[in-house]
Structure 1
Amino acid sequence: MRALPISPPERVRETAAQGALVCESACESVCACESALPAATVWPRPLELGWQCLSTSPDACASPADWPADGWLAAQVPGTVAAAWRAAGRLDADHPPAFAFDDHWYRLTLTGHGPQRLRLHGLATLSEVWLDGVKRLDSDSMFVAHDLDFELNGTATLALCFRSLAPLLAARRSRARWRPRLVSPPGLRNVRTTLLGHMPGWCPPLQAVGPWRPIELLGDAPAAFDRVDLASRVDGDDGVVSLTLRFLHPQSGAVPDGADVTATPATPATLHCGTLHSSALVWSDAYTLTGELRVPHAERWWPHTHGAPTLHSVCLELDGERFELGEVGFRSIEVDRGADGEGFALRVNGVRVFCRGACWTSADLVTLAGTAQQLEHAFALARDAGLNMLRVGGTMVYEADRFYALADRYGILIWQDFAFANFDYPNDAAFIDSVRREAHQFLARTRRFAALAVLCGGSEIDQQAAMLGLPPSMRAQPLFTECLPALAAEERPDVHYVSHSPGGGAWPFSTRTGITHYYGVGAYQRPLDDVRRAEVRFAAECLAFANVPDDASLHRDLGTSHVHDPRWKAAVPRDPGAGWDFDDVREHYLSTLYGVDPARLRYEDPPRYLELSRAVVAELMTDVFAEWRRAGSPCGGGLVWQFQDLRPGAGWGIVDSSGRPKSAWHALAQAWRPVQVVITDEGLNGLDLHLINETAESLPVQLELVCLRDGAVKVATATIALELAPRSTRRLAAADVLGQFFDFTYAYRFGPRAHDVTIATLRDAGSGQIRSQAFHLPERRVAERGDTGLSATLEATCDGWQLVIEAQRFSRFVNVADLHYRAADNWFHLPPGESRTIALLPMSVDEKRTAPAGEVRAINHSMPVFYG
């Protein structure tokens, strides 16, 4: 047995369109695979179906000889024990068994002849591999892949055993300098496993056990591939593709460069990029082909907010046969520390990029992977929200190749933590050696992906120690300051490494130095003006709220919309040991921003409570990012905690557990546009208008400013024509646009307030199309609802259904509620006299057959408007 860096493809069929290699065989056993696939293949063959699994008490079976005859379940690989239980109808996801503290067996019959190599991409977590009753491998990390060579003569039984963590957790390896409250039990610091399922308060106790990554038999063709190591880089104006291809068997036509080719002609091998560029490869030895290909004036890969995420197809021509290897992108990444050297922002291809996005959790907590459809849906939502960065945090898992390939295709940067969080980790040789293998394998298999932008040692590790009062000398961990950065520099020199998140300054969690986790507005219940006072440079986490899903999700997925129902409260995140939860955080802002009594509203008018709860979070998200994106802001980015809920309910996600966007997602989609106008309240200086153009083109625009009284009467108006320079942010004082005094912020208070709302509209100068709108309410408190003249008309189109929404008065937070459809645009303000046409998107293929029927509301409109 030997552990090797794994090849970039996790599956084994060429799918160049997705930049990944995926097997789509529906086989049920190795025999079925052999009948469905060619007799010999250069690609690995996945062992996906035909597995069975069995759960037992710890040490009930010392070996396969002790297996009971009954109790086996059908199991999918890659997969987990929880996934098998779910498929069998046995899983209660809210109250699952403690899977990590029992034993679990998997078995599969292999059929074939001759030498074989088995590749196990990930086994969670303390595992054994048996072949025909003989133990061949022990593994103690779910993040390390293994190869197993063996001889197959007819049939053999492959068995995997996943042992209880209890004995390892009971054996103390070293004394920890601190103990975090986030994770239970604390002995998990010694185990290389995900913390998902072990964080009471915000994550369901669903523990990862099983072969969660693919298991493959490597190809049996003479030219079978062992590893395909593909990478790209930028050299001046050119792109460079490099390939190292390792074969499973020695190649008869392998003639190392410089050898005598007259005796044995070398097998010709050529690397192609697109249709125009190619380069000959050379043999390093009998197993290895290497080479580089230069693409002159290569088109760059960009985050989708700043350009096109251009990818270039790469293929290998070997002895006259072509093999698609996937796609690569060319981009450069640098860190901009700012004039004072204490900031943090990314420059992509030399352009400073404001990174906005969210912290990733999992597309499916049960499988830790999700289906291709779930991931595609998540990335489409991320792109449509204007998100250009996802952070995979240290409490999660390293994602499969498909995740990073989708990030490449959708133009979304990835901030990747190594799988460490909060703990004081061991520093013994065995632990460090395991981490080196883990990090090396991850970096090798993701080397091809342009989206990978930041590597981070882990989450809240230095912060945890500092908050407990330890000085820097007592909280240092060479794993994060020496070992991991050295590996990152060797394997991915094109990606920036940071030791910790947060990190920087005397306190590693200081908001105005380096990278912070900003919860001033949020858990710490600070007022909105704290956003500017905090001087955030880069928020790798921020804005955690118990975000309320829409009514359809609450009733369908949670089964209740009553906030005191035990099912509701069980889903609301909370910090262990705290006397409050994140419902309380949201309600604080309902009280201070909207002037309502949340407790009274909850029992007097629950639907109104839910509506205002959704609205206040949308308002907070909008205002915070307006401050961070304004001209002169020191902030280089903000990543909301989190992207998607792990279970139904009012979780941290801006998308609920079923993949349906919440009000926060819609607010951020309006605040994260590449071409944007935002408003900031400057007190006695009035309002500032900030015009943002992140595109590479100069944009002629028209800026309109209007102030309304009673939601309809114009009391101040102005229009100016402007040219927005490429990659620019420009500030204009509203007073300068208007050209006369007007108390926009109601700061001078000379008599009654003259207006209710200020609206800034940015239009394309040629077409008149609205590019962006921003709103400022001098009084945010929620008054009595009235008649805004809100109306909605349902229309059928060749593409489906749409709503046309209009209002006679300013309508605040217009929102659409439909059981079977979601509004592509939702939770927006609507000025009087404007119409908004909104596509209605079916939540599933089955629901597409049902005509839309729902209602349109606004928080200042008295009655719902029904359609359908």
Structure 2
Amino acid sequence: MTVAASGEWQIPADIPAETQWHAARVPGTAARALTDAGLYDPENPDPLHDKDVWYRARITPRTTGRHTIVFEGLATIAEGWLDGEPILISDSMFAAQEVEVELSGDAELCLCFRALEPHLSRKGPRAKWRTQLAKSQGLRLIRTTLLGHMPGWCPEIHAVGPWRPVSMFSAQDTFAEIVEIRSDLLEDGTGKLDISLRLADDPRNVYLACAGQMAEFLRDETGQLRASLEIPDVEPWWPHTHGTSRLYDVVLVLGDELVHLMRTGFRRIEIDRGADGTEFALKINGERIFCRGAVWTNADLLSLPGDRESYRPWLELAREANMNMLRVGGTMVYETRDFFELCDELGILVWHDFQFANFDYPVKDPEFADKVSREAEAFLAATQGSPSFAVACGGSEILQQAAMMGLPPERWSGPLTNEILLEATTRQRPDVAYVENSPSGGAMPFSPNEGVTHYFGVSAYRAPIEDARRADVKFAAECLAFANVPEPVTVETRLPAGIGHSPEWKARVPRDRGVGWDFEDIRDHYVEYLYGEKPLDLRYGDPERYLDLGRAAVAEVMEAVFAEWRREGSRTAGGLIWNYQDLMPGLGWGVVDATGEPKSAWYALKRAFRPLQIALTNEGTNGLDVHLINDTAETRPVTVELACLRDGRIPVVSGSMEIDLGRHCAQKVAATQIIGAFFDTTYAFRFGPPAHDVTVARMSDRETGEELAHAFQFPLGRGKALHANDIAVTLETPSEGEAMLVLSCDCFAQSVHIRDDGFRPSDNWFHLAPGREKRIRLTRRHGIPADRQPSGEVAALGSSRRFTYSAG
């Protein structure tokens, strides 16, 4: 039962505890509770780590006698009392605590979360280096999240309180405890399932059932019950971009009673280092997978939730954007079983760092090392049987930090990543890949041409898009960081005035400590690089266009980079955007803003990550290459069409080709093969004035005619292909709750964007070629009344005109 079943948890409005108490959510944080009480402003947070925070609740057991209270997560230095008697001391946010108590009736449970600040100043073993990431070097000694402690990265909202569930049970409540579960896919296609468990009673004839197979549990020498199943020709679990994410029910059979234990999937994961040993790619079920997605931050920084309903909208958006991997970095928190189960269902691979980042941790201290080992074992045990868990990583930027401080290679790593975390993973999850640290590999840990890298050549280091190929990236566990501009509705309702220059605006822009630039400066650089316009002049004279060009530029960069990385011949096997969601309303790194609204980058990635994809790359005097990609499990008969347009309107040359595109493959075709003759598609030979300003490529299903993907290339640059145009807009409402925009244009329209505050479009910030209709599904946003109808406007980057639509 839940501890708070007989009454709400309470938190005082201020410290000391004699002051007025207020209701508090558990699981939850003090910041959340105080915000609910109107006593805390998350957009201008006050420190919480300099004070004690108290919680209390009345608990009522269903029976008298021995009970166990389970505290799944207490942030961070906590003490507990039951009816005034001390029962608990905890000094790790990531360690669960179980306390046995004797109960004869109602009791009062009190928790005090001690101020963390005094602990941050205590001395520990001397560190080999200091990091600029966090304010306090003392965080290396304490097991707590770095969220809230990284200026310039996220708001200083400190994690304090019972952030994970508190529950209570008696011996009578305990039925079965899963000790170990292993689900594997053997090379011959057999699924293998091994389970060991403990039962409160000692029944006979206990069976394990899964996928139509059954095996009896037998007791081993330790007293545990063990059963093993082999399932021939099992349907494997795939990431959703490459096949079906098949899950099977695991059932305990006790006579006529069936007890559902969990769902699992069968898959096999390997790391492919390539012929020369420098590569890093994941192979799932024997197939090399291009992993694409983003670095997950948190569903809600204020509450740090761990339940399905908090995760669901964010994870469904990730799947909709064709992401097949999310990485939880070492600066975040451990995500819960609910997170992994949803990723299992949605077919999203999880790369999860252990919660270590940038610091030199004191693992030579036996007590600290033991704490780390228990933390890792508990996290891994909670994920057992989850097929989505693909990579366990020893943390973030530890090796990089040491290398950048000038230390020799032998001092970059140590027992934390090479022994403790590796051994825990081997014991608990031998079916997942282990990576020592992110980044790692190469002459420097962060060298992009070997192993795992954090690639910011394009973006933070202002390299041209061509650097995405020149860097020879093997696997980017972080990449492409920009201050991504939210959609207009968020800017107008949640951001301060003073676009691009006011202190309040700039406070919402992420930055690295100790540098003279921020990530809005990076976005501005690419606006000028792509369009030849001066961001400073735009901020002065046309701030709305300034933001629109910023949205468009980021989208264009992301599509172009992934066109390079996914093409045939590329040795890049993955790219994860830094990062997935913003932690507060603003111009954060997230491709989804803190309200849950996708930004222009999300729409670009949705296109760039399509399982069936067409892309164009400029190969100079070698011409234009057309790249066709089929990640799916079936061969697809497709038609490829290509047209070079003058003035965005007149086809100068065109052609088409029919291709049977094989399963799980990438294929390259020269544009001249499709056209059937020589044409200077890239304007590399320059025999006279340019003949065209945009090339349009389409891939469609040969049998149905459905357009699967499209791509565009600009031989003279994007700024030379901005055309005034007329966009015809038709709104269709075929049935209740459905709406479809049908768009067409007389001339190429660049970065077409739709604004409808009540409905979210299925595509946005896209290019529209003349001569074809584009259909955009409109989905009612959460909280919009059922009687509200679609109404909005459509515009393109090259025109000041707005084209409106309305159901009325």
- Taking structure 2 as the reference length, what is the TM-score of the superposition? 0.96
- Secondary structure of 2:104 counterpart: strand
Is the 2:306–2:335 contact (alpha carbons within 8 Å) kept by the matching residues of 1? no
Determine the C-alpha separation between the residues in 2 that align with 1:761 and 1:828: 14
For 1:28-427, what aligned pairs fall within 5 Å after superposition?
29-31=4-6, 50-54=8-12, 57=15, 67-68=17-18, 70-112=19-61, 113-221=64-172, 224-227=175-178, 229-235=180-186, 236-247=188-199, 249=200, 251=201, 254=202, 266-274=203-211, 276-284=212-220, 288-369=224-305, 372-427=308-363
Do the aligned residues in 1 keep the contact of 2:714 with 2:721 (CA within 8 Å)? no
Runs of 4+ more than 6 Å apart: none
SS at the partner of 2:464? coil
817, 837, 859: which one aligns with 2:755? 817
> 1:685 maps to what in 2?
622
Return the offset for 1:751: 1.5
The Cα of 1:422 is off from its aligned counterpart by 0.4
Q: CA deviation at 1:196?
A: 0.3
Q: How far does the alpha carbon of each residue in 1:458-507 deviate from its partner, in whole angstroms, 9 at most, with x for none?
A: 10111011011111123332111111111111111111111111100121
Q: What is the root-mean-square deviation in Å for CA atoms of aligned residues?
A: 1.7
For 2:71, give the aligned amino acid.
Answer: L
Secondary structure in 1 matching 2:719: coil
Cα deviation, residue 861, structure 1: 2.7
Q: How do 1:514-593 residues align onto structure 2 when only pairs under 5 Å count?
A: 514-560=451-497, 562-593=499-530
Most deviating of 214-223 and 234-243: 214-223
Q: Matched residues in 2 for 1:685 and 1:783: separation?
A: 22
1:32-53: CA deviation from partner (whole Å, max 9, x where unpaired): xxxxxxxxxxxxxxxxx62112
Cα shift at 1:661 = 0.7
TM superposition shift of 1:561: 6.9
Any conservation in 2 of the 1:55–1:103 contact (CA below 8 Å)? no
1:105-161 superposed Cα distances (whole Å, 9 cap, x missing partner)? 111112231110111111111111211212122111111111111110112211111
Contact 1:218 1:226 survives alignment (8 Å): no
Number of the residue aligned with 1:4 = none
Contact 1:219-1:225 within 8 A present in 2 as well: no
Q: In 2 relative to 1, CA 298–416 (structure 1 residues): closer, same or farther, beyond 3 Å?
A: same
Equivalent pair of 1:121/1:146 in contact (CA under 8 Å): yes
Question: How far 1:222 sits from its partner (Å)?
Answer: 6.6
Listed one character per residue, the Cα deviations across residues 214-271 of structure 1 (whole Å, up to 9, x for unaligned) are: 1111254275334564331223421122222234x5x2xx2xxxxxxxxxxx533122
Q: Give, in whole Å, the separation in 2 of the partners of 1:659 and 1:855.
A: 21
SS of residue in 1 equivalent to 2:106: strand
Moved more, 232-241 or 287-296: 287-296
Q: Deviations over 1:740-786 (max 9, x none)?
A: 22111111222211001111111111111111111101122425965
Deviation (angstroms), 1:373: 3.4
**Where does residue 714 of structure 2 map in the other structure?**
777
Shift of 1:591: 1.1
Contact conserved, 1:680 with 1:688, CA < 8 A, in 2?
yes
Task: Pick closer, same or farther for the CA change 1:783–1:704 going to 2, 3 Å.
Answer: closer
Contact 2:722 2:749 (C-alpha < 8 Å) held by counterparts: no
- Contact 1:55–1:102 (CA under 8 A) maintained in structure 2: no
Q: Distance in 2 between matches of 1:501 and 1:28?
A: 39
Secondary structure in 2 matching 1:143: coil
Aligned position for 1:716: 653
Contact between 1:206 and 1:366, CA under 8 Å: does it hold in 2? Answer: yes
The residue that corresponds to 1:858 in the other structure is 796
What does residue 35 of structure 1 align with? none
**Aligned partner of 2:144: which letter?**
T
Indicate conservation of the 8 Å contact 1:52/1:108, yes or no: yes
- Give the partner amino acid of 1:74: A
Letter in 2 for 1:87: D
CA distance in 1 between counterparts of 2:280 and 2:723 reads 47
Q: How far apart are residue 728 of structure 1 and its match?
A: 1.2
C-alpha deviation, 1:695, in angstroms = 1.4
Q: Give the Cα separation in 1 of the matches to 2:757 and 2:611.
A: 32
Contact residue 723 and residue 749 of structure 2 kept, 8 A: no
Q: Return the alpha-carbon distance in structure 1 between the equivalents of residues 69 and 550 of structure 2.
A: 53
Residue in 2 that maps onto 1:808: 746
Partner AA of 1:297 in structure 2: D
Amino acid paired to 1:94: E
Gaps of 5+ in 1: 1-11, 13-26, 32-48, 61-66, 255-265
Q: Secondary structure at the match of 2:135?
A: coil
Higher deviation after alignment, 365-374 or 754-763: 365-374
Match of 2:770 among 832, 836, 851: 832
Q: Distance in 2 between matches of 1:483 and 1:322?
A: 39
Deviates more, 1:536-545 or 1:217-226: 217-226
Output the CA distance in 1 between the equivalents of 2:767 and 2:178: 53
Distance 1:222 1:563 in 2: 58
* In structure 1, C-alpha distance between the alignment counterparts of 2:392 and 2:174, rounded to whole Å: 35
Give the conservation status (yes or no) of the 8 Å contact 1:231–1:328.
Answer: no
Aligned equivalents of 2:173 and 2:708: distance in 1?
Answer: 58
Deviates more, 1:276-285 or 1:647-656: 276-285
Higher mean C-alpha deviation, range 319-328 or range 634-643: 319-328
Report the alpha carbon displacement of residue 28 of structure 1 after superposing the two structures with TM. 8.9
* Residues 204 and 647 in structure 1, CA contact (< 8 A), matched pair in contact too: yes
Q: How many residues align?
A: 801
In structure 2, how many angstroms separate the alpha carbons of the residues matched to 1:846 and 1:733?
48
Aligned to 2:172, the other structure's residue is in SS state coil
Structure 1 window deviating more from structure 2 (229-238 vs 602-611): it is 229-238
Name the TM-score, length of structure 1 as normaliser: 0.90
2:424 paired with 1:466: no
2: distance between equivalents of 1:644 and 1:156?
Answer: 41
**In the alignment, residue 232 of structure 2 is paired with which amino acid?**
P
Question: Contact conserved, 2:24 with 2:33, CA < 8 A, in 1?
Answer: yes
CA contact (8 A) 2:693 2:720 kept: no
Against the structure 1 CA distance between its residues 280 and 93, is the aligned structure 2 distance closer, same or farther, given a 3 Å change threshold? Answer: same
The alignment partner of 1:825 has SS state of coil
Deviation, structure 1 residue 319:
4.8
Unaligned runs of 5+ in 2: none
CA distance in 2, matches of 1:512, 1:842: 44
**1:810 partner amino acid:** F
Farther off after superposition, 643-652 or 88-97: 88-97
In 1, Cα distance between the equivalents of 2:13 and 2:377?
A: 33
1:532 CA drift (Å): 1.1
Q: Is 1:706 matched with 2:643?
A: yes
1:562-603: CA deviations, max 9, x gaps? 222333211110001110000100111111221001000111
8 A contact 2:700–2:708 mirrored in 1: yes
8 Å contact 1:99–1:207 — kept in the other structure?
yes
